[in-house]
Amino acid sequence: MFDLLRLWSGLLIRLVRSRRTLLMENLALRQQLAVFKRQNSRPRLARADKIFWVLLLRSWSLWKTALIVVSPDTVVRWHRAGFQL
């Protein structure tokens, strides 16, 4: 019953969201899936992965909702470290 309710609520939320938001979330989730497929143990993010998340941070306001691999604080730290370089 709970799964059905969660499915319907997810459907309603996705109907209200803009197409751009949905595409950005899809891109973020696909990138994380690619990281998981590359490695069997604890995923290690390459420099390109970190750059991806920093760019996503700057272009999409809801980027925190799609995070699974890293925490939002980590992405913000990478963002700040990039400007220090």
| Contact assessment for residue 57 and residue 79, using Cβ atoms and an 8 Å cutoff | yes
Question: Does 85 have pLDDT greater than 60?
Answer: no
Which pLDDT value is given to residue 74?
77
Which pLDDT value is given to residue 41?
65
Quick one: CA torsion of 17, 23, 24, 29, rounded to 10 degrees? 110
Place of tokens 């604080």: 73
- Tell me the whole-structure pTM to 2 decimals: 0.39
* Alpha helix segments (H runs only) across 17-63: 19-38, 47-59
**Pairwise CA distance, residues 60 & 18, whole Å:** 12
The backbone torsions φ and ψ at residue 63, rounded to the nearest 5 degrees and listed phi first, read: -60, -25
Name the pLDDT band for 56 (thresholds 50, 70, 90): confident
